């Protein structure tokens, strides 16, 4: 189980998943058709909603929490966590090793 979790939760896979949304999906459609950008915006919106739920459950008593999400969400959360001065991301590898 540990190896499987580490395989699916690493920066390289997150980067590949994240890059696909901008490099591939965002380009879909003609100059007048923004269906690709809409698709990407819906993913970002979903990630923001999910991250908002996480933030709303944090309080001073929560020194640490574990958030388990799929790789595409994790990739999206990376920027939110970087910009959120109230939290710190610790890689799963640091915890499991």
**pLDDT value of residue 90:** 85
**pLDDT value of residue 11:** 78
Question: How far apart are alpha carbons 82 and 59 in whole angstroms?
Answer: 19
Highest mean pLDDT among 6-10, 20-24, 71-75, 80-84: 80-84
* CA end-to-end distance (rounded Å), the chain: 13
Q: What share of the chain is helix, strand, coil (3-state, %, to 5)?
A: 65, 0, 35
Looking at every residue in the chain, the average pLDDT score rounds to: 87
Where is pLDDT greater, at 71 or 68? 68
- Range scoring the smallest mean pLDDT among 20-24, 29-33, 40-44, 62-66: 62-66
Where is pLDDT greater, at 32 or 21? 32
Could you tell me what percent of the chain has a pLDDT over 70? Answer: 100
Q: Residue 34 pLDDT more than 90?
A: yes
């Amino acid at each position: 189980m540990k190896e499987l979790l580490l395989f699916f939760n690493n920066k390289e896979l997150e980067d590949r998943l994240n890059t696909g949304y901008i490099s591939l999906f965002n380009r879909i459609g003609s100059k007048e058709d923004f269906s690709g950008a809409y698709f990407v915006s819906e993913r970002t919106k979903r990630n923001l909603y999910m991250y908002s739920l996480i933030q709303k459950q944090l309080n001073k008593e929560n020194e640490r929490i574990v958030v388990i999400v799929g790789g595409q969400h994790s990739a999206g959360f990376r920027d939110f966590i970087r910009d959120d001065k109230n939290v710190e991301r610790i890689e799963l590898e640091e915890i499991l090793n």
